[in-house]
């Protein structure tokens, strides 16, 4: 029989996983210490375990439980070492590996944590908690499909595991499988009706489905169950904002701040709403307050960077976030305005080969790019969607192929309105694909001499683009800015970028190219490099008397997973059931 050591209220304890100890593994000499431990009397329990070790230095259980206390009090390195010593003495106890995995996870040693959970599972295949914790860590590694599989296994072993259903819902939500996420949260709530966190998470998924009234109701339930639930108040504010109930949204954000005044994102939410409402004084007050707060995780660092940016402190914005995201030092930015440097960089790249059908002719182009996997999964469907909604518009596919792939395999795609280019390219990081497409966009713009709209390949075009092209005909660049986004790397979304055939747009793309070149040279090309480069180019243009005429792409033109009023493009960000259901 397994019983859990409950979680204790401790200001240094960040982990959400409960530690597990099998009763059959606890010798009578440890029972007193374990009883104190379970009551939250950590100091007394620690003294008892040390007393046992004074008598029996090789007592693995005492070492293990001392490691548990070290972890619970924020001393993760000591926890890893002590539980590791217990494992050396007795390498056949699954709970040791599971709890060591928890400590490794909190120390951000995610791969090692997964390996530790794997060992726990190998020793005890029915260990549902180990599968749950492994899923949590895989989610940290952005291995979302693997995380869902781990949660599914935990649920199969423990069908009433509400926590696993809730965490599974969070992973599905990040995969943009919002309906499935809501269903997972609903199951968690049915198993645990007082589960405030599940109600709040359910509300976030409902927001993504644009069901804002239902989302507010879900947040209200979470708050009823847990009146001090600051995050639920903040999430509720976001939903009310979408419903244009701005006064209520302000009240909700303020309540979140009252409950947790040190949370930077709450102040950013309120500040951005005030800015949207053109209350610059209150907005500035919110952003200024953030500067005195200390971020305690990567998301909060990215949020504080927004405060710097909104206050016009661009250097601090880009430099501050560089600790957790790909960002070039701000002092280099003005030097990125060099077409000649961009051309020199392009010359060093693998050759780009262009092919078009004999009958090909176009006055505007929709561009997609990807590797063999993404092209196979998504291109036919996105091409069909373009032909259905925008017949006659040229579609260009840029393929980034492995050396062993024959580009002629894609020549059967060359219809009257399809052109094709390819290069041999295998980046060290997946972000290489997302940045390279905009570098090739520079070359294609010079080749086509007409406007290009670049979209994510895992998208669907569901509306006619004639009005869009007319609206943007006098703009050099169309950027998908997100005015109410709270982290700096999401202020611009790279899934939709428009450029016209002007010298100004080439300067904009040249800036982007030089920014990415610097990241590559410093081995810093990581997640969201494309969006940070677009943001830097946008800020550079604004600082230099709008050298480039940049027009904001209305946010309602692109939607995630479901079409709403005015939607032109649906993006799915990976293999989603919505996209592949046909």
Q: What are the structural domains of the chain?
A: 1-124 (1.25.40.10), 334-580 (3.90.550.10)
For residue 21, pLDDT over 90 is answered with: no
For residue 422, pLDDT over 50 is answered with: yes
Q: What is the pLDDT of residue 361?
A: 63
Q: What is the pLDDT of residue 465?
A: 93
User: For residue range 517-531, what is the model confidence (pLDDT) as tens digits?
Assistant: 999 999 888 889 999
Q: What is the pLDDT of residue 562?
A: 66
Enumerate residues 6+ apart whose C-beta is below 8 A from 97: 87, 116, 117, 119, 120, 123, 130
Q: What is the pLDDT of residue 570?
A: 87
Q: How confident is the model at residue 191 (pLDDT cuts 50, 70, 90)?
A: very high
- For the entire predicted model, the pTM comes to 0.84
User: For residue range 317-347, what is the model confidence (pLDDT) as tens digits?
Assistant: 999 999 888 899 999 999 999 999 999 999 9
Q: How confident is the model at residue 547 (pLDDT cuts 50, 70, 90)?
A: confident
Query: Could you tell me if 361 and 390 are in contact, meaning their C-beta atoms sit under 8 angstroms apart?
Result: no
Q: What is the pLDDT of residue 412?
A: 79
Closest CA to 137 of 175, 161, 180, 167: 167
Tally of CB atoms within 10 A around 552: 14
User: For residue range 197-256, what is the model confidence (pLDDT) as tens digits?
Assistant: 999 999 999 998 889 999 999 999 999 999 999 999 999 999 999 999 999 999 999 999
Among 172-176, 525-529, 548-552, where is mean pLDDT lowest? 525-529
Q: What is the pLDDT of residue 577?
A: 35
User: For residue range 266-318, what is the model confidence (pLDDT) as tens digits?
Assistant: 999 999 999 999 999 999 999 999 999 999 889 999 999 999 999 999 999 99
Residue with more model confidence, 82 or 413: 82
Closest CA to 364 of 437, 468, 461, 509: 468
Burial profile 242-271: b = 16 or more Cβ within 10 angstroms, e = fewer: beebeebbbebbebbbebeeebbbbbbbbb
For residue 93, pLDDT over 50 is answered with: yes
Enumerate residues 6+ apart whose C-beta is below 8 A from 345: 439, 513, 514, 517
CA distance 399 to 384: 18
State CA 15 to chain mean position distance. 20
Query: Could you tell me if 240 and 255 are in contact, meaning their C-beta atoms sit under 8 angstroms apart?
Result: no
Q: What is the pLDDT of residue 20?
A: 58
User: For residue range 446-495, what is the model confidence (pLDDT) as tens digits?
Assistant: 999 999 999 999 999 999 999 999 999 999 999 999 999 999 999 999 99
């Amino acid at each position: 029989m397994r019983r859990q050591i409950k979680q204790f209220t401790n200001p240094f304890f960040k982990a959400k996983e409960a530690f597990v100890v099998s009763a059959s593994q606890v010798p009578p000499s440890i029972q007193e210490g374990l009883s104190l431990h379970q009551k939250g009397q950590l100091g007394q329990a620690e003294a008892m375990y040390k007393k046992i070790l004074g008598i029996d230095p090789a007592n693995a259980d005492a070492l293990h439980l001392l490691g548990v206390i070290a972890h619970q009090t924020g001393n993760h390195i000591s926890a890893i070492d002590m539980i590791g010593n217990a494992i050396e003495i007795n390498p056949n106890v699954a709970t040791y590996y599971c709890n060591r995995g928890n400590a490794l996870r909190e120390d951000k040693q995610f791969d090692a944590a997964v390996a530790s959970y794997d060992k726990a599972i190998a020793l005890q295949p029915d260990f549902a908690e180990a599968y749950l914790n492994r899923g949590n860590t895989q989610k940290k590694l952005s291995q979302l499909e693997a995380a869902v599989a781990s949660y599914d296994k935990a649920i199969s072993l423990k069908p009433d595991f509400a926590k696993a259903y809730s965490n599974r819902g969070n992973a599905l939500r990040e995969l943009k499988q919002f309906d499935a996420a809501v269903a997972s949260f609903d199951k968690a709530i049915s198993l645990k009706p007082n589960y405030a966190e599940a109600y709040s998470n359910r509300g976030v998924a409902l927001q993504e489905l644009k069901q804002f009234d239902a989302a507010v109701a879900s947040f209200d339930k979470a708050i009823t169950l847990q009146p001090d639930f600051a995050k639920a108040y903040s999430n509720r504010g976001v939903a009310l904002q979408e419903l244009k109930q701005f006064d209520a949204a302000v009240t909700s954000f303020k309540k979140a701040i009252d409950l947790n005044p040190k949370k930077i994102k709450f102040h950013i939410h309120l500040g951005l709403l005030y800015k949207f409402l053109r209350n610059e004084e209150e907005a500035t007050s919110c952003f200024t307050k953030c500067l005195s707060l200390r971020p305690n995780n990567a998301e909060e660092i990215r949020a504080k960077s927004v405060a710097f940016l909104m206050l016009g402190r661009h250097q601090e914005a880009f430099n501050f976030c560089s600790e957790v995201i790909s960002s070039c030092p701000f002092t280099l930015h003005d030097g990125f305005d060099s077409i000649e440097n961009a051309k020199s960089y392009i010359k060093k790249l693998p050759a780009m080969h262009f092919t078009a059908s004999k009958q090909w002719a176009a006055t505007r182009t929709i561009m997609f790019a990807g590797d063999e996997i993404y092209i196979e999964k998504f291109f036919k469907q996105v091409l069909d969607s373009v032909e259905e909604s925008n017949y006659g518009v040229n579609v260009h596919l840029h393929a980034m192929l492995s050396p062993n792939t024959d580009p002629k395999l894609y020549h059967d795609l060359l219809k009257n309105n399809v052109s094709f280019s390819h290069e041999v390219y295998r980046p060290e990081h997946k972000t290489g694909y997302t940045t390279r497409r905009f570098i090739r966009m520079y070359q294609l713009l010079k080749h086509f001499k007409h406007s290009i709209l670049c979209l994510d390949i895992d998208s669907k075009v569901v509306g006619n683009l004639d009005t869009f092209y007319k609206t943007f005909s006098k703009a050099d660049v169309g950027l998908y800015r997100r005015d109410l986004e709270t982290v700096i790397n999401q202020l611009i979304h790279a899934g939709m970028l428009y450029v016209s055939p002007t010298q100004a747009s080439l300067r904009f793309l040249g800036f982007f190219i030089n920014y990415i070149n610097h990241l590559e040279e410093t081995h810093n090309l990581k997640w969201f490099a494309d969006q940070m480069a677009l943001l830097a180019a946008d800020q550079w243009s604004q600082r230099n008397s709008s050298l480039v005429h940049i027009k904001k792409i209305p946010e309602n033109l692109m939607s995630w997973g479901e079409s709403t009023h005015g939607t032109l493009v649906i993006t799915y960000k990976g293999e989603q059931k919505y996209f592949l259901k046909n």
